[in-house]
Amino acid sequence: MPSTLTLKQRTFIWGKRTYIMGILNLTPDSFSGDGLYADSADEKPTQEQLTTILRKAQQFVAVGADILDVGGESTRPGAEAVSLDEELRRVIPVIRRLASELDVPISIDTYKAAVAEEALKAGASMVNDVWGFKADAELAGVVARHGVPVILMHNRSSWANAEVRERLGGRYVGVPYDNLIEDIRRELLESVAIAHAAGVPDEHILLDPGIGFGKTVEQNLELLDRLAEIRDLGYPVLCGPSRKSFIGYTLNLPPDQRLEGTAAAVALCIARGADIVRVHDVEFMARVARMADAITRRSVTSIQ
């Protein structure tokens, strides 16, 4: 497995500690209720909205975010698709503002090649593709041409398996797998093969097993517990359990009451080998990660 990755003059040393990716949802319909503005399809974010987003990003960095993940389209079960033009209007002004005022790496959360192209030009440093190069055939080429890292996520999301409950939100039911972990491993390696074919080197590839994407509650729980088998593929692993429905349906809690469940999931992701955790509650989960690292990696020393 590649041992390091350099992003915006920051070096990520895999295995030394867990890195924190803070989520900036630029949507009005985020499943977690943290969408940062409710825009119209005809308008860019206002200066007031940009300032609010910048302040939240600054706060994330101050309390432990190593990467900021900017996304303009909700991926929750049942979410409406966002047009290319609307996604660009949502994310590009924000990325340009953040990149000009912060030295932390910015990730663009998109599966559209055109959005990734413009986001990287605006100052993003990496791409987070929830469809693992399988939704837009041009995206792998964009990543290779810009020489940036990419997070390739496993995803079997389908409307046919989506169920939405008012209090707990969306989840997937009856999703067929022949062998859960082996199927996920095989399909992630398919994404890796697409990356290699486009010229993306191994040191620029990270894998995300896709907790919450096309998996039932029980499948998500098993996947998290067996995360080490994903890391055995030989690539750094990002894990994103934050506020997800498998927590809500396990604890019978809505998204705004899933802090403790997320903390437990994050700690176990780290114990199973995650290199990055993608979270909404950066301050709290950075503390969880620091404690989990102290136990599992002996990477943090106590105050004497």
Going by the DSSP 8-state scheme, the letter that residue 46 receives in this structure is P
CA distances in angstroms from 54 to 51, 101, 125, 214, 249, listed in the order given: 5, 8, 17, 32, 33
Catalytic residue among 112, 134, 244, 272: 244
Q: Pairing relation of β-strands 205-208 and 67-71?
A: unpaired
User: Is 185 one of the annotated active-site residues of the chain?
Assistant: no
Catalytic residue among 278, 290, 297, 298: 278
Strands across the sheet containing 205-208: 205-208, 150-153, 126-129, 106-109, 67-71, 19-25, 276-279, 238-239
User: Is 278 one of the annotated active-site residues of the chain?
Assistant: yes
State the Cα–Cα distance between residues 227 and 37, nearest whole angstrom. Answer: 34
Phi, psi of 104 (to 5 degrees): -85, 145
State the Cα–Cα distance between residues 219 and 245, nearest whole angstrom. Answer: 12
Note whether 211 and 253 are within 8 A (CB): no
Cross-strand pairs, 4? 13
The answer to whether the Cα torsion of 212, 217, 219, 221 is positive or negative is positive
State the Cα–Cα distance between residues 220 and 268, nearest whole angstrom. Answer: 13
Catalytic residue positions, numbered: 244, 278
